[in-house]
Amino acid sequence: MKSSHHDHNIPSTPGKFKPEKSNLYHRFRLHYSHPTKPTFWGFVFLCLIFIIFLNSSPSDQPLKTQSWGGSEWEKRVKSSSKIRSKSGFSVLVTGAAGFVGTHVSAALHHRGDGVLGLDNFNDYYDITLKRARQDLLQKSGIYILEGDINDAVLVKKLFEVVHFTHVMHLAAQAGVRYAMKNPKSYVHSNIDGFVNLLEICKSAEPQPAIVWASSSSVYGLNTKVPFSETDRTDQPASLYAATKKSGEEIAHAYNHIYGLSLTGLRFFTVYGPWGRPDMAYFLFTKNILKGKAIRVYESGDHGTVSRDFTYIDDIVKGCLGALDTAEKSTGSSGKKKGDAQFRVFNLGNTSPVSVSDLVSILEKLLKVKAKRRVMKLPRNGDVQFTHANISLAQRAFGYKPTTDLQTGLKKFVRWYEGYYGLRKKSHH
């Protein structure tokens, strides 16, 4: 599972029994060659198979919920969610140990909003990075609860303990290309999980306003540039995109039936410090520094593949702007009392850069020449280009990205070197 041919750096699927199994198998083989006790070892083998069977869950992502509950736990939940400023919010941030979730949580807390994080800490990518982000937030008093958005009992309990004014829903199975490897994880988090959350929000008293992460990938094969929110989004090129588009339709239905205030944000390839190791800029940095080859995609006839790379701080401003302009939900007792706000916004940078230029910028910053393997874009769900029109978000909450790719990557590289201990110590 680990080293597939495409994305050798993408970690294995959640549900990590394989390596252990082969370990045990080898250990067993060593002992099995012992001539004296074949039946004993046969028995041990059967036991092991049985244990493996018991431990393997039929679902792709088993619910991993720590023990929770009790008065101490409630105190912690309440204290983290407590509003510390005049007219501040109390926000449940799902996916709070994720890349965007961490930055948004920190920004909300910083301005005096109460923040409770929820994250299932799945192993789609390096968990130690998620734990490090958790530690970072914990230092400023933000509690990230370990639990899954599919866990209805837990999420319901949270709404009983705290009257959240807002939900910032960022928990998702991200990544475009990984959807071919683990399709069900996308349905599990992006559809099942979202519906579970909305079901609970619709019955919560009071209903919170919800802002959530959609994706630029919903534009799929759309060729009209720049992408506007009114452009067609019915031609997804990946299952990931299809689940995010489904999320937008599901959001509409919950807004229509239950009066939930819903805002979907179409993020355009967000990058920056504390980013996701499965994304190209991160993966490239790692491999360039290791002297390993990187795959640089191009389209047919040596055309460029480009992205409207958007720096994390700009995205955070967009998220806060969306929260600040979100109107209240209108329903109560699970029933709609009037029309509620329904919005979708692009949050991009408005200046696409080719993957090849991305690599050149990294080469300069890292002072290492990349070993480029230029290849035609495989049919893996990637689209050829993205380019956001952001005028809608600009009008609604003054969204205006200010960081170009060069500047943003510089900050990323500085973080990367610090985090992985690569920075040269200066001798006065």
Residue 73 Cα distances to 77, 112, 144, 213, 302, angstroms: 6, 22, 12, 28, 57
Instruction: Mark the segment that binds ligand UGA (CB under 6 A) among 10-18, 92-100, 131-139, 174-182.
Output: 174-182
- Residue 317's closest CA among 13, 173, 78, 104? 104
The answer to whether 295 contacts ligand UGA (rule: CB under 6 A) is yes
Instruction: Classify 381 as helix, strand or coil.
Output: coil
Which of 60, 148, 151, 382: binder of ligand UGA (CB under 6 A)? Answer: 382
305 contacts ligand UGA (rule: CB under 6 A): yes
The alpha carbon dihedral of 315, 127, 6, 410 has a sign of positive
Query: How many residues sit in the footprint of ligand UGA (CB under 6 A)?
Result: 19
Cβ atoms of 210 and 263 closer than 8 Å? yes
Query: Of 194 and 297, which CB lies nearer to ligand UGA in the complex structure?
Result: 297
* Helical residues (DSSP H) of 56-96, grouped into ranges: 71-81
Which neighbouring-strand residues pair with 211? 168, 263
| CB-count exposure of residue 236 (10 Å: 0-12, 13-18, 19+) | buried
Distance in Å, CB of 413 to ligand UGA, minimum = 15
Q: Which is nearer to ligand UGA, 151 or 308 (CB)?
A: 308
Minimum CB separation of residue 107 from ligand UGA in Å reads 20
User: Cα torsion at 329, 330, 335, 336 (round to 10°)?
Assistant: -110
Beta strand segments in 249-364, E = 262-267, 270-271, 293-299, 303-304, 306-307, 310-311, 342-347, 353-354
Bridge partners for 371 per DSSP: 293
The least CB distance from residue 225 to ligand UGA, in Å, is 15
Indicate whether 100 belongs to the interface with ligand UGA (CB under 6 A).
no
Range 351-370, binding ligand UGA (CB under 6 A): 355
Q: Of 289, 281, 345, whose CA–CA distance to 309 is shortest?
A: 281
> Can residue 175 be called a binding residue for ligand UGA (CB under 6 A)?
yes
Task: Specify the residue, 143 or 268, whose C-beta has the smaller distance to ligand UGA.
Answer: 268
For the segment 397-416, give every residue that binds ligand UGA (CB under 6 A).
Answer: none
Q: With binding defined as CB under 6 A, does residue 227 bind ligand UGA?
A: no
Which of 198, 190, 187, 174 has its CA nearest to residue 92? 198
Site string for ligand UGA, 30-69 (x = CB under 6 A): ----------------------------------------
Q: Which residues of 93-122 are buried (b: 16+ CB within 10 A; e: fewer)?
A: bbbbbbbbbbbbbbbbbeeebbbbbbbbbb
Site for ligand UGA contains 279 (CB under 6 A): yes
Choose, by CB under 6 A, the member of 170, 262, 296, 340 that binds ligand UGA: 296
* CB of residue 43 to ligand UGA, shortest distance in Å: 47
The question of whether 240 is a catalytic residue gets the answer: yes
Which part of the chain contacts ligand UGA (CB under 6 A), choosing from 211-219, 227-235, 409-417, 418-426? 211-219
- The verdict on 93 binding ligand UGA (CB under 6 A) reads no
Q: Is 208 in the site for ligand UGA (CB under 6 A)?
A: no
User: Can residue 297 be called a binding residue for ligand UGA (CB under 6 A)?
Assistant: yes
Query: Toward ligand UGA, which CB reaches closer, 378 or 398?
Result: 378
- Does 390 bind ligand UGA (CB under 6 A)? Our answer is no
CB 279, CB 355: distance < 8 Å: no
In the list 93, 137, 168, 174, the residue contacting ligand UGA (rule: CB under 6 A) is 174
- Angle subtended by helix axes 280-290 and 405-419, to nearest 10: 60
Contact 374, 360 (CB under 8 A): no
Q: Is 229 in the site for ligand UGA (CB under 6 A)?
A: no
Name the minimum Å distance from CB 414 to ligand UGA: 19
Q: Which two tokens stand for residue 5?
A: 């041919």
Q: Which amino acid is at 127?
A: I
Q: Which of 125, 186, 240, 254 is catalytic?
A: 240
The site map against ligand UGA for 237-276 (x = CB under 6 A) is ------------------------------xxx-------
**Residue 176 touches ligand UGA, criterion: CB under 6 A:** yes
Helix (H, G, I), strand (E, B) or coil at 97: coil
Binding-site ranges for ligand UGA (CB under 6 A): 174-176, 215-217, 267-269, 279-281, 295-297, 305, 307, 355, 382
